[in-house]
Amino acid sequence: MAGRIPKGHPLARLFAMLTETNFVRHLGWPDVEVIGYLTNVLTDFVHVDQLYKVRNAQGRRVEEVAEMLAEGDLLHRADTVDREREVHRHIGDYTLFMAGIFPEFLRRLRTSKILISPDALLDYVQVGKRSYRIVSEPQSENLEPPRRQERQWRWAAERGPRGKADAPLGAVRSFGSEGRTWESWRPGYPAPGLGDLGG
């Protein structure tokens, strides 16, 4: 498996600058934790091993979200709550990445004349929101306060864009906003609304 790209690497710095610029300028949402998290997702997914890091019991990489959902389900293949949360975190990151960076892929997947993947039946934005919600929720009322890693998911439950107080999971509801921001980096590509993707 490929190693992580260091924070000081020029590519990581580029992603950080683009994410910060777009969040501050286009969304009016200068949330350092969210910007940092999304920068890390972009940097991690440079390596295909990270993009498809979920493995099944046989060690084969899982490339479809529908199968990832089964891998992360305690009633199906996930043998621990930690495995469930790990897989759902990846599903959230993967669907956010695909909806934001490759919306044309999702559109083609959903509008193909033949069913080329079970993912064609999924709403990536809704699946991503649900997965982030699973990761952000405590698994028991007796749990200690969330660790720093788990607090990264709390941004989804505490506030929405522009710093407005919002109902629980307000920022997760704005999941598509990050995708529109990422689309603005891609000159020459049409930027469809995420409504076209079912968001």
pLDDT the model gives residue 197: 37
Q: Which residue has the tokens 């193909």?
A: 112
The domain locations on the chain are 10-197
Contacts 24+ apart (CB under 8 A), 116-123: 117/64, 117/66, 118/64, 118/66, 118/67, 119/64, 119/65, 119/66, 121/66, 122/65, 122/66, 123/197, 123/198, 123/199
pLDDT the model gives residue 140: 52
pLDDT string in tens for the chain (199-residue length): 567 788 899 999 999 999 999 888 888 888 888 888 889 999 999 999 999 999 999 999 999 999 999 999 988 888 898 999 999 999 999 998 998 888 888 888 888 877 788 898 899 988 988 898 888 877 654 444 444 444 544 554 344 333 333 322 333 334 444 444 444 444 444 433 333 334 3
